[in-house]
A and B are shown apart, each in its own frame.
Chain A
Amino acid sequence: MRTEAAKKTNNLPEMLGRNWIALFIVLLVAFFSLVTRAFFSFDTVQLIFFNGTEVFLLAIAELFVIITGGIDLSVGFVMGFATVASSKLMVACVALGLSPFWSILAASAVTLLIGLVPGLVNGWLVAYLRVPAFIATFSMLGVTHGISELLTQGVPTKNLPALAGDIGNGSFMYVAPGGVISFFSRPQVARGQTVLAIIPNMVVLSFLFIFLFAFILGKMKFGRHLYAIGGNIDAAIRSGINVKRDLIKAYVISSLFASLAGLSYVMKYITGKPDAGANMLLEAIAAVVIGGASMAGGSGTVGRTILGALVIAILETGLRIIGMQTFMTYILVGVILILAVIIDQVFPNRNR
């Protein structure tokens, strides 16, 4: 199914058309940098990635399902459920006498395991019972939301180990004045001296997963099967692909990434609540579409989805840094979304 679209061409408009999203990001960065000097810095780049982590992860969650021609409406509340489950588990592990480090690790591992369940159910409903993805995942949205509310009783979780916040808000590497390099913990320096923090932990961890699944989608047989299913499900069945099993896998991966987003939220904000990801669903879907995937399935890549999510993240942070109301983001994302679809119709093989 994957035609080699990147054949050498000297046709400039077509090249721009296919890469417009990257070009658009360069223009955005140039615009914000011209308006405010403060925008153009390594710290801003890191801030954009740090603030965007959850949306990046949810966008990848959505991508795997959208490639198959489906949609997963439950990712926001699966994420919320993961924030509640993981934070409650952390508190429980600490109460049982585990050290903060092992509590966080154990709670995260268990949460990722439980987090597979909504995906399994979604995938099973879609693949075996032929429930439309919209309905199956919409029901799952309600179920996960309700369970989280029951668990929290309206009270966001608290009293998490302080280490969680240190990890979530810390960076991988620090360079103190004088060139002293340290890892994971910020060196003590006189106040007012700048310590260069390099790559937030949450960004590092998230992109480990994102790269792994970019490889799976782009290079492995399973990835090719997903495109085939989204491109033409009957042809996929005839060619001997185990469509039902692969569909379930796609929804499970979606759930996994939603849970990862939940963990990221908990580590950053040291609390969990049912509606933590409620307003991120539409941003995630928008990122996938801006990244050139078709809602009809069969196309989309991890790299371009990240670029799509990056557009939204740059807009949000950029507008704030230049001191504009972020309500502008809603309008701009809406306009870009329409543009993305129109441009993709003019250059139809941009994203295969």
Chain B
Amino acid sequence: MKKRYSAVFAILLILLAIVPVFGQAAKKQLTFLFMPGVQDPFYTTMEKGVRAKCKELGVNLIVAEYPKAWGPEYQVPILQAYAQRGGFDGLLIAPTSVDALKAPLKAIYDKGIEIITVDTFIGDGDYSKPNTDYNFPLSYIGSDNYLGGKMIAEHLAKLVGEKGKVFCEATNPDASSVAARVKGFRDGIAQFPNMKLVGVEWCLDVQQKAQEQTLAALQKDKDIVGIFGTNVFSAQGANQAVVNAGLVGAIKIASWDATITNIENLKKGVIDLVLAQKPGEMGSLGVEWLYKYLTQKVSVPKKVIPGFEFFTKDNVNDPNMQQYIYQ
């Protein structure tokens, strides 16, 4: 029986060696691969931006399978399978870890494929530094998360009269974007002498966990006046905790990301402030710069930063603002 296995194995190996590589015929058209970070409304909105721009420029688009959870062990095998399949000239990716994605992306870059990271980055996100092991992507296109965190702190401070305790419900410290938001929020709150950040919790993108952690924080510090949820899941979890504790109105909640749920909560008065990133614009800009680089060899800025929009109950029904809701 052992012999039979070896024979089958040997035949397979021989076949692998002798079957010549077809394909690679004359390239008519550019093809890009879009590799999202996790299945959520933020990245589906980004995909829409990517799709629209590709259509406009006549670029073929492959959208990779959405990872079912946030983390390199989910994203890397998907990315590698698509890389193995090949057939794309440019890659737009939201890396799920600042370290773990370096090696797989370098391998793709070495094949001659151009890379732009969107929303999140590898290393410290500064691809202009020489002599690093992460300076090969063309560009990082994403929000200035630090600035966003700081602006949230300032808006929230205004809502609570610039005094009292605040709490932060974050997701995953290994994601560059989230860590920067928290740091910005911390520094933003520190500008107000009568305000104090009493805690930061990490829910690892699990809404249920965010809800439990917020509830625990509310029991520890009963006089919290403001909460900042750093992404879709943590904000929704924090909202639910405040609703369950019967503290709607007494606590001002700021939320990151203009998901439909967050916007509806804003309309109902459950939350009070929503920062909208521009995922569609990130995707669209990513496609545009990849295209310009591959067709005209223009030099691409190493960092491209789309701005923010802020939703409050006063402008949430404004027709001009509707384009910034993720859907």
Contacts and interface: CB of A to CB of B under 8 A. Distances in A.
B77 A51 contact: yes
B221 to A, nearest CB: 19
A43 B84 contact: yes
A45 B107 CA distance: 17
A194 interface: yes
Given A29-B12, A194-B111, A316 B172 contact: no
Interface stretch (B96-104, B183-191, B269-277): B96-104
B104 A156 contact: no
Given A271-B72, A317-B77, A323 B100 contact: no
Contacts of B81: 47, 317, 320-321
Contacts of B84: 38-39, 41, 43-44, 47, 317, 321
A321 B82 CA distance: 6
B164 interface: no
A37 interface: yes
B85 A269 contact: no
B159 to A, nearest CB: 28
A242 B22 CA distance: 60
B4 to A, nearest CB: 7
A165 interface: yes
B114 to A, nearest CB: 11
A143 interface: no
Query: Interface majority SS on A: helix, strand, loop or mixed?
Result: helix
A271 B102 contact: no
Contacts of B174: 155-156, 158, 271
Given A41-B16, A155-B202, A169-B103, A271 B133 contact: no
Interface residues of A, number: 49
A142 to B, nearest CB: 17
A162 to B, nearest CB: 7
Interface in A304-330: 316-317, 320-323, 325-326
25 contacts: A22-B4, A36-B85, A37-B22, A38-B86, A38-B87, A39-B84, A40-B19, A41-B16, A42-B16, A42-B17, A156-B172, A165-B100, A165-B102, A166-B103, A169-B107, A269-B73, A269-B97, A270-B99, A271-B72, A273-B71, A317-B77, A317-B81, A321-B81, A325-B65, A326-B78
Interface of A: 6, 18-19, 22, 26, 29, 36-45, 47, 50-51, 154-156, 158, 160, 162, 165-166, 168-169, 191-192, 194-195, 265, 268-271, 273, 276, 303, 316-317, 320-323, 325-326
Interface of B: 1, 4-5, 8, 12, 15-17, 19, 21-23, 62, 65, 71-73, 76-78, 80-82, 84-87, 97-100, 102-104, 107, 109-112, 133, 172-174, 201-202, 204
Top 10 nearest A-B pairs (CB, nearest first) are A320-B81, A192-B112, A169-B103, A269-B100, A270-B99, A154-B202, A269-B72, A38-B85, A51-B77, A321-B85
Given A19-B4, A162-B133, A316-B77, 13 more contacts: A37-B21, A155-B174, A158-B98, A158-B99, A165-B103, A268-B76, A269-B72, A271-B99, A276-B73, A317-B77, A317-B84, A320-B82, A321-B85
